[in-house]
Structure 1
Amino acid sequence: MYAMHYEITLPADYDMNTIRNRVAERGHMTDAFGGLGVKAYLIRERGKAGSTLNQYAPFYLWNDTAGMNRFLWEGGGFQGIVESFGRPVVQTWSGLLCVRGEAAFTFPVSATRDRVPLAREADLANAARDAMAEVEQLAAHRSALISACAIDPRSWERVVLTLWIDNPPAAVPGERYEVLHLSRPGFDELLREAG
């Protein structure tokens, strides 16, 4: 599994319905995309869920690099982002675990993304085990659809993404997002059952 994410920060007065309409028109294009496990079309809207900015921020979980490469380099969809918004920085992480949550067969309405730098002195095996244990715990929540974790070995940053069928519990750390659409052509290949 490979995690991929980019953030497009938009002006404070940007009409986020423009992004909602874009996703409504184009979101289905990744519903059967080969090699893709899950794509969550995420937004943050200024003044909602604690956000101070407007942002379009899709998050991907890939089953293989061939699909990810096709998306990025071969006109598989990323070119539309570049044409509309310029070329954003694309963050990638090596996947550790993706767990099916209690609400796996329901559509998510929100997401949390928590990024944590690993301390220089951290034992990497323990850091990976801790991240996976956190994902198991999050996925066991009755409102969780999936939870996944990954680590970027370049920056030594850990990321945990969880999709929720309602508002996430207040104690869950990280940025809050609204989910506009979820493509999940390779969902089952990514997952293992919680518990």
Structure 2
Amino acid sequence: MIAMQYSFTLPSDYDMAIIDRRIAEKGHLLDNFPHLRFKAYLSARRTDETRSRDNLYAPFYLWDDVQGLNNFLGGDGFVAVSQSFGRPQVKSWFVWQARIAPDVAQAVFATREILPVDMSIPVGDRRRLESEKAIEDIEQSGVVASVTGFEPTTWTVVRFRLWSAEGPGPVNAATQIYKVGHLSLPK
């Protein structure tokens, strides 16, 4: 599996209702997209409970394989996003662990941490620890999806969680909180 995210930082006075409408009108287009485990249409506002420093539109994807990712990035949907907001830098991670609860469609919030890999710890050990954490997290109250992945160019780990209405628990300074506007899933 491969995790992927791109993000658009929008001006502080940007009308985020435009993003909400975009998600409402186009979100369903990736429902049942081949090789897509899920797409979380995410946004964050400077003025809401996400406590974001910026206004963001930042979809997060979990792909079964690289074919789905390539089909999406080479397709009309990504062309439309690029025409609207510019071509973004697309981050991707090799997935170490992904757990998705049956009630994932209830996701309301998401959290994402990108953390450096401590060079004093063997990567295999870090993978085991992060995979165990992802499994533990899905067993927490409110977590409906838990994804952990590795990016070897920058030597970073991503921890991505989808949360039900209870919302995320305590977070640290490295955590970005998002609202989920739509969740595209296979049928």
TM interval, short-chain normalised: over 0.9
CA-CA distance at 1:106 after TM superposition: 4.3
What are the residue-to-residue correspondences of 1:109-128 with 2, within 5 Å? Answer: 109-128=108-127
Distance in 1 between the 2:171 and 2:87 partners? 34
**What's the offset of the Cα at 1:88?**
0.6
Contact 1:31 1:185 in 2 (8 A): yes
Q: Is the 8 A contact 2:6 2:88 kept in 1?
A: yes
Instruction: Indicate how the Cα distance of structure 1 residues 51 and 128 shifts in structure 2: closer, same or farther if over 3 A, else same.
Output: same
Matches within 5 A, 1:1-195: 1-48=1-48, 49-75=50-76, 77-101=77-101, 104-166=103-165, 167-171=167-171, 174-185=175-186
Aligned-partner Cα distance in 1 for 2:147–2:120: 24
Distance 1:105 1:37, change over 3 A: closer
Does the 8 Å CA contact 2:104/2:145 hold for their aligned counterparts? no
| TM-score normalized by the length of structure 1 | 0.90
Deviation string, structure 1 residues 92-142 (Cα, Å, up to 9, x no partner): 1001111134x7254211001011010223210111011111111210112
Distance 1:133 1:38 in 2: 21
Residues of 2 paired with 1:60 and 1:105: CA distance?
14
* Displacement of 1:66: 0.9
Segment drifting more, 144-153 vs 168-177: 168-177
Contact 1:37 1:185 in 2 (8 A): yes
C-alpha distance in 1 between matches for 2:91 and 2:134: 20
Q: Is the 8 A contact 1:104 1:146 kept in 2?
A: no
Q: What's the offset of the Cα at 1:171?
A: 4.4
Identity %: 36
Is the deviation greater in 105-114 or in 148-157? 105-114
Give the Cα separation in 2 of the matches to 1:36 and 1:105: 14
d(CA) in 1 for partners of 2:39, 2:25: 15
> Aligned-pair distance for 1:153?
1.2
Amino acid at match of 2:30: T
Q: Which amino acid aligns with 2:160?
A: L
For 1:144 and 1:130, locate their aligned partners in 2 and report how far apart those are by CA, in whole Å. Answer: 18
Structure 2 unmatched ranges of 5 or more: none
Farther off after superposition, 161-170 or 16-25: 161-170
For 2:94, the aligned partner's letter is S
For these two proteins, the number of residue pairs brought into alignment is: 184
Query: Gaps spanning 5+ residues in structure 1: where?
Result: 187-195
- Contact kept in structure 2, 1:104 and 1:144, CA below 8 Å: no
Report the Cα distance in structure 1 between the residues aligned to 2:134 and 2:81, rounded to whole angstroms: 30
- Where 1:94 maps in the other structure, the secondary structure is strand
TM-aligned CA deviation for residue 52 of structure 1: 1.5
